[in-house]
Amino acid sequence: MSTVFAKSVPGREGVWPEKPRTEPVDFIPEGLLRGRDANLPSLSELDVVRHFTRLSSKNYGVDSNFYPLGSCTMKYNPKFTEEVAALPGFSRLHPLAPQLPGGGDMVPGALEVMYETEQLLCQITGMAAFTLHPMAGAHGELTGALMMAAYHADKGHAKTKIICPDSAHGTNPASAAIAGYEVVSIASKDGIIDPEALAAVLDDQVAGVMMTVPNTLGLFERHLPRIVELCRAADALLYYDGANLNAILGKLRVGDAGFDVVHLNLHKTFGTPHGGGGPGSGPVGVSERLIPYLPISRVFKDEAGRFSLRYDYPKSIGYVAPFYGNFGVMLKAYAYILRLGGEGLTRVSENAVLAANYLRKRLDDLLDVPFDRTCMHEFVASAERQGKNGVHALDIAKALLDRGYHAPTIYFPLIVKEAIMIEPTETESKDTLDAFVTDLREILALAETNPAAITAAPVTLPVGRLDETRAARAMEITDDLG
Amino acid sequence: MPYIPHTPDEVREMLDVIGAASIDELFAEIPAELRPKSFDVPPGLTEMEVRRRLERLAAKNRTDMSSFLGGGFYDHYVPSAADMLLARGEFYTAYTPYQPEASQGTLQAIFEYQTAVARLFEMECANAGVYDGGTALYEAVMMAVRHTRRKKVVVSEAVNPIYRIVLATYTKNLRLTLVTVPHMRGSDDMAALTQAVDAETAAVVVQNPNFFGTIQDFTSLFSTARDQGAVSILSGYPVLQTVLKTPGAMGADIATAEGQSLGLPLSFGGPYLGIMTCRKALVRQMPGRIAGRTADASGRTGYVLTLQAREQHIRRQKATSNICSNQALCALRALVNLCLTGEEGLTRQAALSIENAHYAAMRLCCIPEITLLNRDLPYGNEFTAVFPINAKKIVRALADEGIVAGFPLGRYYPGLENALLVCCTEKHGRDEIDRLARKVEKAL
């Protein structure tokens, strides 16, 4: 399908405002003005509507396809939350309004939403306080790492290292490095953190340990109490990556368990759409001892129940975002939490874990599951066995696309060969899960009898497998390059 | 339970397959002492109840006022078709296009977005966007630090003060030296900036139009930076970029911008869009996702995420950035808006905004004792007016008349307590501007 630029017809009228009475050159010297046209599209409204409608048909999304992408929690996104976030009373609010004299009175409803969301997240996680400013999970990690640095520096003992298990998401070590830390990786044992391996590297230079619970294999970290003990003794802070919170709502509050810093992904656990890669929202919760370092501004509620923004926190790490985070995303998560309530959230995790274990059991005769015990909301299988026929995890993924499923996450976590990471979420019906099993069984049977049929996939989509090497070499990253 | 489809019978069947007696058994690994001490989340509500509650909260906010508030975040008109197209579930319920064959819609859109913003800024390359204009500027600075292996960054005080605070937060632990060069009555101090850029400098950072609304040409400064081996970074304003001399034409190495003005609602600060563009020589230092064009085995054109060796899921702690989820849907919205409005429409938006701002400045300057901070310098759709009294008093008085007069600069610029940043877009009518002038005159 040609690009929108190729469809452009100079002079064709789009959604234009009226013609100005003046030209910029009447006010601004010519030398400061643009020399050439930008060569942006000239199209009718229908041209544009048709182009993007057709593009949308080339995508799988949760609304159209089962999307068991492990670690991403691709659950259904309730539609009413979209309308809530688009209410003009929220969508037309200027972010600088609260900084005006008397500005707090212009935005009390928005501040109340933020305050209430923070309180709900505190209840859900057991943390003492939250900031909503980080705009995605990785942004939350960086915010957390900066707070850990501020905590240790304030105690007069700046430290240099952060520990991540080898099963961690790539963002964990990347965020720690960007906050100025050296990253120490520790090997997992039986799929989980080995407290002895941790103890061996936990010296007085370790600022924190980053954990995901359940971890990226979908396994609960059984040694958590011992890990908490070790970290306390070394004055290392314990960080919780909330990517997998969908497994433990109402079952484990990470604050009670001893974590000091926590980031959540509202776009995973709390039903806000993933948007083709954002916008997300990555609020960060802290234990009592880290409250002074939270980013500013903070929402404050006085005795009369009035809300305001406060900036006077001398130990704060500062601004991690220009304003208050992705407010439009928070609104949807707030509406989602109110809708489900405490019991509903608990049912979310129960059914997510039920669905994952159901799929694991129904597939474990066909695919190797390296750590085959009760999983939480997701599990990691391995296509190593299929390799003897020349069929790899990638081929199975592509064959699933042909049958109308988005593929699971593949080749992650790095510690499982030919990894296939499956997360069904609580919102998929048993019929969908059963159909998925049937199709995956057919694919795996074909992998034995006719591997070429699998390695040729996909054949039903707008394009077949694309040449990634050529893309990197040719570097056609705009219509004008390459 | 809403959104959970399993009936009690189905739960039973699934448990039987698993071989568990109850759902509780699936959580047996979480020891009793780690179970929640409380889980005090209020009971669930119906969809209607939640909507009512949110509608009540929305109604408490004042969004019915006539507003001249800008400061980098602008209320431009958004065509209705943009909302309709963005509501397509195939776009907004997808995730990062890890499986390109099932994500050609998202990938082609990112490619088109990259093309559009690269053309707008006359730069060679663009990524799929980062969180917002502030973090885009920080990522640009980090690109320069890696590229030059230097630690000194020269920043003009006329760059959005909030962006400068964000920059300070992130660079605190990285032992970078931020040198801030004071503005001169609302203009960038070119001589001082040029002098500050030396052989130790990683980057020089400026904004056009700057925070005071002033339009300038940084060609000479960027030329000095190039001679010193430093990277030139310009933070721009996409809508006005259709009429202003581009960062590319000035010789910038990296151009960033807040993309909100391209069809994103103000939404109290987010979600927004951090636009990042650069010269080809710097593309491997770029953070985040980049879509590239390629083909399949039968020669059909398709798009993939490319140059991924820069990214965290491959490089872990050696990645150019930690960014994973970005603001993909916001980039799509910017692209759709830009296509609907088109080159002519966007140029008109810019011209009308500039025209309205000049009309507003003319009306205000007719009032005795009101001047512009720097009357000799050109400005776009925003200008800094100076009053004989504290600008906060003006804002307070006009709020009672249902007008947001602008942004008082004293908060970020001590000494400019009487200065007010006033912005116009194509949405302002002359009658609205006349009313602003009348009420300001009354307030003095």
What per-residue string of b and e applies to B14-41 under the rule 16 or more CB within 10 Å gives b? bbeebebeebeebbeebeeebebeebeb
What pLDDT is recorded for position A257?
95
Place of tokens 């057991």: A126
What pLDDT is recorded for position A404?
98
Contact pairs from chain A to chain B, CB under 8 Å: 698
Partner-chain residue, chosen from B46, B169, B327, that has the shortest CB–CB distance to A319: B169
* Chain B contact set for A87 (CB, 8 A): 54-55, 58
What pLDDT is recorded for position B313?
86
Q: Which of B4, B62, B119, B164 is best to mutate for the A interface (most A CBs within 10 A)?
A: B4
Sign of the dihedral defined by the CA atoms of residues B394, B400, B405, B407, in that order: positive
Helix (H) or strand (E) holding A409: strand A409-410
Partner-chain residue, chosen from B58, B125, B326, that has the shortest CB–CB distance to A278: B326
CATH 3.40.640.10 residue ranges for chain B: 80-336
* Chain B contact set for A48 (CB, 8 A): 81, 85, 336, 339-340
How far is residue B154's CA from residue B253's CA, in Å, rounded to a whole number? Answer: 15
What pLDDT is recorded for position B276?
98
Mean pLDDT over each residue of chain B, to the nearest integer: 97
Partner-chain residue, chosen from B3, B128, B317, that has the shortest CB–CB distance to A173: B317
* Chain B contact set for A95 (CB, 8 A): 73, 266, 268-270
What pLDDT is recorded for position B172?
85
What pLDDT is recorded for position B173?
81
CATH 3.90.1150.10 residue ranges for chain B: 66-76+342-443
Which residue in chain A is spatially nearest to B51 when comparing CA positions? A84
What pLDDT is recorded for position B23?
98
Domain B80-336: CATH architecture, name and number where available = 3-Layer(aba) Sandwich (3.40)
- In the CATH hierarchy, which top-level class contains the domain B66-76+342-443? alpha beta
What pLDDT is recorded for position B376?
87
Q: Do A325 and B269 touch (CB under 8 A)?
A: yes
A81-339: CATH topology: Aspartate Aminotransferase; domain 2 (3.40.640)
Q: Do A275 and B92 touch (CB under 8 A)?
A: yes
What pLDDT is recorded for position B155?
98
* Chain B contact set for A476 (CB, 8 A): 292-294
* Chain A contact set for B412 (CB, 8 A): none
What pLDDT is recorded for position B394?
98
Burial of A178 (0-12, 13-18, 19+ CB in 10 A): buried
CA distances from A356 to A7, A377, B64 (A): 46, 5, 48
* Chain A contact set for B172 (CB, 8 A): 146, 317-318
For the stretch A398-418, pLDDT in tens is: 999 999 999 999 999 999 999
Helix (H) or strand (E) holding A199: helix A195-201
* Chain A contact set for B289 (CB, 8 A): 277
Strand partners, B293: B303
How many angstroms away from the CA of B199 is the closest CA of chain A?
A: 24
How far is residue B250's CA from residue A270's CA, in Å, rounded to a whole number? Answer: 45
Average pLDDT, 10 consecutive residues per value, chain B (444 residues): 97 98 97 92 98 98 96 98 97 97 98 98 98 97 97 98 95 91 97 98 98 98 98 98 98 98 98 98 96 97 94 87 93 98 97 98 97 94 98 97 98 98 98 98 95
Contact A48, A56 (CB under 8 A): no
Place of tokens 């900031």: A131
Q: Do B104 and A353 touch (CB under 8 A)?
A: no
How many angstroms away from the CA of A429 is the closest CA of chain B?
A: 5
List of chain A residues with pLDDT < 70: none
Domain boundaries, chain A: 1-55, 81-339
For the stretch A451-461, pLDDT in tens is: 999 999 999 99
Q: Do A34 and B67 touch (CB under 8 A)?
A: no
What pLDDT is recorded for position B37?
84
